[in-house]
Amino acid sequence: MTRNAAVQETVKVSAKYEAAGCWQTKEDFAAEVDGESMVNEGCYRSKPRGTMSEFSTDQRLSKVGPKPEASRRNYGGRLAGPLLKNHLFWALGYEKLQQNDQRVTNIPEFRQFTGNFAAPLTERMGSARLDWVANNKLNMFYRFQHDDNFGVTGFGARDLAAFSNLNNTNFHIIGADFHNGRWNHSVRASYVNFNNLIVDADPAAGTPDTLDPNGNPALVRITGRLQDVGPDLLAPQQTFQDNKQTKYDASVVFGRHTLAFGAEYNHIEQFVFASFFGLAPRLRASYNSTTTAFADGDPFSAQGSLDPLNFPVNQVVIGNGLGFFSEKPALGFSHGGTVNHRIGFYAHDNFKWTPHLTVNYGLRYNWNSSLSNHDLERTPLLGVFDPQLAGFPRRPADNFAPQAGFAWNVFGDGKTVIRGGAGLFYETNIFNNLLFDRVLMVPPGLGNDTPQITGSAPFLLDPATGAVLFNYGPAVAPNSNPNFPAGVPADCIGLPNNSCIGAAIGQVIPFAQHGQQLLQRSTTPISMATG
């Protein structure tokens, strides 16, 4: 009988029942599909009660007392069978993982933030496959795979700013294998669609979304004590990527030679939008004897140094709301795109030189259209440090990779074999390296910008004109600052010295919000999608 290539040879399935109502894998059994049979399999595993450390690292600063509880449930199943006896077979599969974990925070300086918070994880996986055995020379198949998951992470210990990854991936593969005498041919084509979102997850974790009594979004940091509370600075982000790949491989046997050769092409297209500090500005304060004394004066609330909003601001970070990493289009978006065309060719010979000595040798060629931002000229200043860094980056077109090896059966009995080999190999360059390089050179009004406001740099400037959008410090008298001879009026009216720097965090939040709105309005609006 012809085996269904879509069904694995061995399947491990749950077989032990626990008193608590859980199933756990303890035994194996084999399942085989012939030309007529149908197979269905399933499993369910549950860990309804357990401790956090079984699933993740115990993050408690003081590891005293019982560990927080956690649970995990995993179930799935598979169906497979023939559609056309001995020729056409199908298989379907599904699996789901549901985990309810916890993260522990321990912040003795601000006891209200010490506790256990949710860190849920859900993942669903599905698959489908169709196999066609045309004859004893030709086999073909189609495969589909889906995976989506949602996981809360990014916080714990002294950090309460949670974010989540929302991932959704689908891929399709078709293939054919043809055998004819001494020749073997293999063709593959695939399409992979990957989508990733990074979003605020404070509601899912149960951590505070903001400390502002009026509900204004704000991220608060007390250096070294309270890492972050509020919308995570990494959100929002979007990464979408499509890979379209085709591949051909062949081999032929003649005499003592086995010659293999092939070619492949991969079109990789990606869109990235990452707006750091896009959800809220961050207000930072130090924790020392001076700042705690300031907080104990209750400038904002009656909670003294137990309330982070009473501490004096020494920095405000504002996001401009943008996040394109390139000016190029991709995947239907007008900006934020990166495209790579990857091409490869190879030829390889396995030569049985003597009954005891086999040698192999080959040559591969690789080419990538986007190993670097070769279309952007670097500033001449880089040439001062290294002349090779100036001008346009090189895009290599001569990546030939020779390889050779041998296997020597020394005494001909297979007990002592000496093997050796050498080759030249080329690594690709991940897109992230290109993105963070290109964003520094794209036109204004596209990339993410996060101005840092401090006592020595209190002005929020218009990125296009250089004019002061908002003054977080005290008023500047005329002719006292050569960059602003007309002076700069104060904007934090009503605060001590009419300055946000040095005022309580709770008092500065609305001013920080106003500055973020001014910056985002001053940025050139750009459509996310092409026409």
**426 domain residue, yes or no:** no
Six-digit token string for 164: 């989540």
Residue 151: pLDDT above 90? Answer: yes
Residue 113 backbone phi and psi in degrees, to 5: -100, 5
For residue 42, the surrounding DSSP H or E stretch is: strand 39-51
Q: Are residues 186 and 89 in the same domain?
A: yes
Q: Are residues 481 and 509 in the same domain?
A: yes
Q: Are residues 215 and 194 in the same domain?
A: no
Q: Are residues 190 and 42 in the same domain?
A: yes
Q: Are 271 and 240 contacting, i.e. CB atoms less than 8 angstroms apart?
A: yes
Helices (H), 100-248: 202-205
Residue 286: pLDDT above 80? Answer: yes
Residues ≥6 apart with Cβ < 8 Å to 134? 87, 140
Residue 49: pLDDT above 70? Answer: no
Q: Are 311 and 294 contacting, i.e. CB atoms less than 8 angstroms apart?
A: yes
Residue 162 burial by CB count (10 A; 0-12/13-18/19+): exposed, middle or buried? buried
Q: Are residues 177 and 215 in the same domain?
A: no
Six-digit token string for 279: 């959800």
Question: What is the per-residue pLDDT for 53?
Answer: 46
Range of the domain at 476: 208-235+275-323+446-526
Question: What is the per-residue pLDDT for 17?
Answer: 29
Question: What is the per-residue pLDDT for 55?
Answer: 46
Q: Are residues 231 and 115 in the same domain?
A: no
Give the residue-averaged pLDDT of 146-160.
95
Residue 185: pLDDT above 50? Answer: yes
Amino acid at 443: P
Q: Are residues 84 and 229 in the same domain?
A: no
Q: Are residues 147 and 99 in the same domain?
A: yes
For residue 479, the surrounding DSSP H or E stretch is: none
Six-digit token string for 456: 């020595």
Residue-wise pLDDT for 196-233, tens only, equals 999 999 999 999 999 999 999 999 999 999 999 999 99
**462 domain residue, yes or no:** yes
**387 domain residue, yes or no:** no
Residue-wise pLDDT for 343-377, tens only, equals 999 999 999 999 999 999 999 999 999 988 999 88
Closest CA relative to residue 61, chosen from 155, 156, 202: 156
Q: What would the DSSP string read from start to end of 93-133?
A: EEEEEEEEEEEEE--GGGGGG-EEEEEEEEEEEEEEEEEEE
Q: Are residues 46 and 117 in the same domain?
A: yes
**101 domain residue, yes or no:** yes
Closest CA relative to residue 344, chosen from 484, 245, 257: 245
**362 domain residue, yes or no:** no
For residue 75, the surrounding DSSP H or E stretch is: strand 69-84
**74 domain residue, yes or no:** yes
pLDDT band (50, 70, 90) for residue 528: very low
Residue 35: pLDDT above 70? Answer: no
Q: Are 125 and 168 contacting, i.e. CB atoms less than 8 angstroms apart?
A: no
413: alpha, beta or left? (left if phi > 0; alpha if psi -120 to 50):
alpha
Residue 115: pLDDT above 80? Answer: yes
Q: Which residues, in sequence order, are bridge partners of residue 129?
A: 91, 143
Residue 402: pLDDT above 70? Answer: yes
Question: What is the per-residue pLDDT for 7?
Answer: 32
Q: What is the mean pLDDT of the chain?
A: 87
Say how far apart CA 330 and CA 349 lie, in whole Å.
40
Provide the number of structural domains found in the chain: 2
Residue-wise pLDDT for 496-517, tens only, equals 999 999 999 999 999 999 999 9
Q: Are residues 215 and 126 in the same domain?
A: no
Question: What is the per-residue pLDDT for 45?
Answer: 62
CA atoms within 13 A on the CB side of 496: 11
Residue 183 burial by CB count (10 A; 0-12/13-18/19+): exposed, middle or buried? exposed
**423 domain residue, yes or no:** no
Q: Are 44 and 68 contacting, i.e. CB atoms less than 8 angstroms apart?
A: no
Q: Are residues 167 and 230 in the same domain?
A: no
Question: What is the per-residue pLDDT for 390?
Answer: 85
Q: Which residues, in sequence order, are bridge partners of residue 229?
A: 220
CB atoms within 10 A of CB 58: 12
